[in-house]
Every structure is written in C-alpha cells, then in structure tokens.
Amino acid sequence: MSAAVTDSASLAPTTDIASLRGDFPALQQRVHGHPLTYLDSAASSQCPQAVIDAIGTQQGLNHANVHRGVHQLSERATLAYESARERVRDYINAASEREIIFTRGTTESINLVARSFGGSRLSAGDEVLITWMEHHSNIVPWQMICERTGAKLVPVPITDAGELDRAAFDRLLTDRTKIVAFVHVSNALGTVNPARELIGKAHAAGAVVVVDGAQAMPHKRVDVRDLDCDFYAFSGHKMFGPTGIGVLYGKENLLEEMPPWQGGGEMILTVSFDGTTWNHLPGKFEAGTPNITAAVGLGAAVDYLARIDFAALEAHEAALLEHATERLGEIDGARIVGTAADKASVLSFVIDGIHAHDVGTIVDAAGVAVRTGHHCAMPVMDRFGVAATARASFALYNNHDDIDRLILGLGQAVELFA
C-alpha cells in the first residue's frame, strides 16, 4: 500500500497519485499473457486493498443483521453499517445522516426519487427537464413516472462538442418545470456539466434538482451543500467500492415529505391491520435487510478517497486525458466523440471501418480492457450518428504506459482491418 494513504499519523492528503496504483491488487495481474491495462473504470473501478480488507472483516467476523439483534455480532454489524453512513455523510458534507439513503446504486437512487418524489408531486401539465446526454437510468425512470402522472419529459439538446446547449436549457426551463435531472459527468462523452450554475437556475425557476453523480464521484470532491442540489445519486462500484451499494443524498425536508417507495421490514415504526406508520429517516427508504457488507466496503472506499488530494488527482487525470487525446491522433481514422472544454478522463472514440466491438476484442487480446457499445446512453449515440463507441476511461491508478499500450493495441486493430 502507498505509505501516504495508509500512514494514519499523517493527516496531509496524499499528492503522490502515481504511488496509489500499488494499492490495487487486481492491477498486478496478467491477462492473455500481458500485464492488465484496465481502462474501464467508468463501468466499474477496481478496489484498493483497504476496501477488500474491510469487506473481508465484515463478512468474516461481523456478519449479522443490522438494527435487529441485541447480541454482539448484530451490534457490531449495526455499528459498522451506521459508521459507513456517517463517513459518507461527512465525505459529501451532507447536513445529517438522515439525508444518506443506502440503495443498490445510482439506478435505484434515481428510481426512488422518480417514484416517490415524482409520483407524489407531478401531474398533467408539469414538466421534467433532463438532457440528451443522460444515462438510461436518468431517462427511463422519468419516462415511467411521466407516463403515470401525465407530466411531460423534456430533453435539453447538446452541441456537437457534447456540451449542454445552455441557451436551450434557459429556454426550456419554465414555470412548468417541476424537476430538473441532469448528469454531473457524462459516462459516454466525459462532459462535465456546470452543476452549480444549472442548480441555481433551476431553483430560481422553482424546480427541484436531481443530480446523477455516478461518474463524478471518482474524479471530483463533491460537496452537496456547496452544490445546493436537492438530490444526488451515486454508486459504490465506480468510486473504488464494491457493487450492490449506492447512495441517494436528499435534503431532509424533501425526504421527510416523501412517501416510502417500498414496503417491508425496517421502513416501519408500527404495523397493524388498521394501518402502518413509517420509520424515521433514513430507515423509511431502506426496506428489508440492506447490503451491509457492501456499505462497509463503501465506507472504506470513502476513507480511501478522503485521504487523497483532489487537486493533485484532477491534475493527474487531466494529464492522462491529454496524453490519450494526443496519441489517439496517431491512429488512422480515429475520431473522438465528446470534445467538451470541461471533460473528465473519459475518451469515447470510433475508428473508421472497424466496429467498436472489434476494437474492444482486439485490444483485449493485448490485455487492454476498454468498454464498447452504447454505454446505456442511446440518445447520445443517435445524436452523434454512431451505433457504438469504444471508451477508455481513466482512474487515479492509471498511467501513461496504460495509454501507450492502448494505442499499440489500436494500431494493431487498424493494421488487421486495413
């Protein structure tokens, strides 16, 4: 493990980003006889040893149900689960742990808001404003609730660079707009949206704002009170934690007013055949046994991120993106999809005459993992007139050698198809 991250005596966050790679055991392996070059962190990032250890301890020694038993193991599990919630709260600077709802991930978080908040607030004549660069999980839940309530879904167009059309946003945001839902960082294009500005405008128009933060969390230090968003959704597995856990942050006054969306244990105070009363926050939105071990893993991931200097991290990733963008220029027929001025370290591209899936398969043979397809963002693919792209996404553990190996693999793909 990198000394800077694990040295508990040192309170200064680590600026030596390159040293972090050693914390990730998965990156030490070989794939198809080559060192693994993992460039698919936007789909799922790898876990550092500290997260793997926390999961092992929770599952190996503290495994029991939470909030239910008086015995030692249940108390330990409850403590670990609630301490993970407190660490998440602290990390994103939420005002209270009642504002941190554990979910299965971003998708479930957005479905919760759409069903509970949207379902109780929207009616015919209302509008939900989203953008053309949304992941399906920030489109389909809104489509479903609009269909149920009679509200209208309004997508804001994007420019040829893959940026939000700000003039169109201003035009389409009206007094009919009740909810504005947008992605903080686009998974298909890398575009970083001006979240604070959009939130300010939406609030001025009287709308409530839902931010899809799935791709922002591994790259940015998010402060929900500074953003002043009403809801912020994210997934553990994209921020160096495990799968099966995510968070919905919501302002307490809004969550208080919202009805529960799933019924069962944990979300109630009393149950009788005459009627049932709901639990206090956050339990009201956490029906059933939660993914305790994954929550503990997310807590450890948050601890890991909290010890990193994000200015250094952003500089490291900007250098990776610049190097990759430059070197992709050497590949005949390669074209980048998504050229926003403010971009996270996500590089989507197509190569003339080679299907994205073939690109992915050929570089995989050289140990290079990229994602290919529509990235669950079909409207983005339509907008740019492509069926699919290949996408290299970089995280804190990547380096220039990773990019050079990708370019070598792409060169081989071009030769093969020439």
Which residue ranges make up the site for ligand C6P (CB under 6 A)?
42-43, 105-107, 135, 137, 183, 187, 212, 214-215, 235, 371, 375-376
Which residue, 106 or 116, has its beta carbon nearer to ligand C6P?
106
Shortest distance, CB of residue 380 to ligand C6P, whole angstroms?
11
Neighbours of 363 (CB within 10 A): 25
Shortest distance, CB of residue 213 to ligand C6P, whole angstroms?
8
Our answer to whether residue 146 is catalytic in this structure is: no
Which residue, 84 or 181, has its beta carbon nearer to ligand C6P?
181
Which residue, 14 or 111, has its beta carbon nearer to ligand C6P?
111
Which residue, 182 or 304, has its beta carbon nearer to ligand C6P?
182
Shortest distance, CB of residue 215 to ligand C6P, whole angstroms?
5
- What is the C-alpha to C-alpha distance for residues 99 and 187, in angstroms, rounded to an integer? 26
Contacts of 36 (CB under 8 A, 6+ apart): 26, 27, 29, 30, 367, 369
Contacts of 196 (CB under 8 A, 6+ apart): 226, 227, 228
Shortest distance, CB of residue 99 to ligand C6P, whole angstroms?
20
Whether 106 contacts 136, CB under 8 Å: no
Which residue, 242 or 283, has its beta carbon nearer to ligand C6P?
242
Which residue, 103 or 116, has its beta carbon nearer to ligand C6P?
103
Which residue, 62 or 389, has its beta carbon nearer to ligand C6P?
389
Shortest distance, CB of residue 361 to ligand C6P, whole angstroms?
17
Contacts of 66 (CB under 8 A, 6+ apart): 74, 77, 78, 81, 82, 289, 290, 292
Cβ neighbourhood burial of 271 (10 Å; 0-12, 13-18, 19+): exposed
Shortest distance, CB of residue 357 to ligand C6P, whole angstroms?
15
Shortest distance, CB of residue 307 to ligand C6P, whole angstroms?
24
Which residue, 64 or 144, has its beta carbon nearer to ligand C6P?
144
Whether 66 contacts 308, CB under 8 Å: no
User: Mind telling me the catalytic residues?
Assistant: 376
